Homo-oligomer: A and B are copies of this chain.
């Protein structure tokens, strides 16, 4: 964690990935993020992967550093408490993050009547409020059609829910920009973000829309090769696989030097009359380049490949399973200051990541595990809303709030 936005306070009402990821990002930068869940937990409380004891590693991962309160918002009193937290005074408070429909008890205008400068960010599936999830958005955006081994018939989904993560980080941008604006003007606002639009805007930003509308082209599937440049995977003699890229002249030189293929490549360039220092020429000649490189990789072990390529300054990386990544890659260990071992209640000790950003003047502070569901209910009611012990007891008795669930 870090304290760069210390003081900032958000209330999060969320499930699944995008909104929790946004809250996590802000919590790890030092914001006080209060996650409100229904009694017993939200839709994502038991989401897989889970431990043998049915604790969700997913939930624990996405809620590190937050505080948790369980409120029954189907009751008027529960909604009143939620609203009091959302609209509490203070220049750094009055920020709400949600991916639930922003209506009913989460209606912006209703909340704004209680705090005029409220900032609220709502994530939807599609812009019109209709349903879309990462997997359906990705299917619509075109990527699965060109992903997968060459010759494979049918779409290949991504495993990593990237549009959720993109939406989460974009939501943080929105909140920080709106809070900056509030400091300038005193005004809050509602910000909306559609998961589908994160993918569709990226199609514009990376040139895919231009390919269709200007070139009349559909980007072809290229297997593991990187379109328009040189990027390809190879097998090593010890049955590992490596991804090699040579996008820049420097990396292209380094690759030839490491593999001792300068002469063969020069001969090829002559034969094809291509300037192979250019990306588009390497793309045009890719099959021939692969033929030249392949024997070298299949003659060397991963360790030999590593020494040669690192020595020459080539750009490459080994393929790793999740287990190999976690067990063998020092970048995923406490040697990386981003990682720490945390003791996650109910789960145990394991490696957890703090923020991906390093702030020179706001150094890292310990990574805080996820709370127990409802683990901060009483403390929040007492300290944030000023309720007395008796009142808190009655709220428990009436089923309006609930405390830590084991």
A140 within 8 Å of B (CB atoms):
yes
Point out the residues of chain B lying under 8 angstroms from A310, CB to CB: 130
Using Cβ atoms and an 8 Å threshold, which residues of chain B touch A347? 210, 214
Known A-B contacts A140-B320, A173-B169, A173-B172; A209 and B43 likewise in contact (beta carbons under 8 Å): no
Bound Cα distance from A406 to B238, whole angstroms: 50
Identify which of residues 23-62 in chain A touch chain B, using a CB-to-CB cut-off of 8 Å: 24-25, 29, 43, 46-52, 56-58, 60-62
Contact B189 A157 (CB under 8 A): no
Q: Which residue of B lies closest to A149 (CB)?
A: B152
Binds B, one of A74-82, A353-361, A372-380: A353-361
- Smallest Cβ distance from A343 to chain B, in angstroms? 12
Chain B residues positioned under 8 Å from A177 (CB to CB): 4-5, 29, 176, 357, 359
Q: How many residues belonging to A are interface residues under a CB distance threshold of 8 Å?
A: 158
Residue of B nearest to A51 (CB): B214
B159 with A143: CB separation less than 8 A: yes
Residue on B with the closest CB to A173? B172
Question: Which of A199-207, A268-276, A291-299 contacts its partner?
Answer: A199-207
B228 touches A155 (CB 8 A): no
Docked Cα-Cα span, A44 to B203, in Å, equals: 18
Question: Quick check: A48 and B280 within 8 Å, CB to CB?
Answer: yes
- A169, A217, A351: most-surrounded residue (chain B CB, <10 A): A169
Contact (A316, B136) CB under 8 Å given A5-B177, A141-B325, A157-B224:
yes
A213 / chain B contacts, CB cutoff of 8 Å: 326, 350-351
Return chain B residues, CB-CB under 8 Å to A161. 206
**Which B residues are in CB contact (< 8 Å) with A200?**
325, 331-332, 336, 338-339, 353
Query: B360 and A190: CB pair below 8 A?
Result: yes
B residues within 8 A CB of A402?
Answer: none
Interface 0/1 of A145-182, CB less than 8 Å to B = 11111001011111111100110011111101111110
Is A193 located at the chain interface by the 8 A CB criterion?
A: yes
Knowing A141-B325, A159-B143, A358-B193, the reply to whether A127 touches B279 (Cβ < 8 A) is no
Contacting B at CB under 8 A, from A306-339, are 310, 313-327, 329, 331-332, 336, 338-339
Question: Which of A180, A203, A319 neighbours the largest number of chain B CB atoms within 10 Å of its CB?
Answer: A319
A84–B122 CA distance with the chains assembled, in angstroms: 40
Residues of B within 8 A of A187 (CB): 361
Residues of B within 8 A of A227 (CB): 48-49, 159
Q: Does A105 contact B (CB under 8 A)?
A: no
CB distance from A277 to the nearest CB of B (A): 12
- Closest CB in chain B relative to A50 CB, distance in Å: 8
On whether A247 and B16 interact (CB within 8 A), knowing A142-B320, A143-B159, the answer reads: yes
A46 to B316 Cα, complex, angstroms:
23
Q: Determine whether the beta carbon of A201 is less than 8 Å from that of B338.
A: yes
Q: Does A404 contact B (CB under 8 A)?
A: no
| Beta-carbon contact of A207 and B49 below 8 Å | yes
> Known contacts A48-B229, A359-B177; is A201 also within 8 Å of B60 by CB?
no
- Does A133 touch B at the CB level, under 8 Å? yes
Residue A196, interface by CB 8 Å: yes
Known: A48-B227, A156-B149, A190-B360. A214 touches B321 (CB 8 A): no
- Can you list 7 A-B contacts (CB < 8 A)? A47-B279, A48-B227, A51-B214, A58-B206, A147-B147, A155-B319, A161-B206
17 A-B pairs besides A4-B178, A49-B227, A181-B359 with CB distance below 8 A are A25-B173, A49-B219, A50-B280, A51-B214, A51-B215, A57-B215, A60-B207, A61-B206, A142-B320, A143-B160, A145-B322, A148-B148, A181-B362, A189-B359, A200-B338, A201-B338, A214-B347
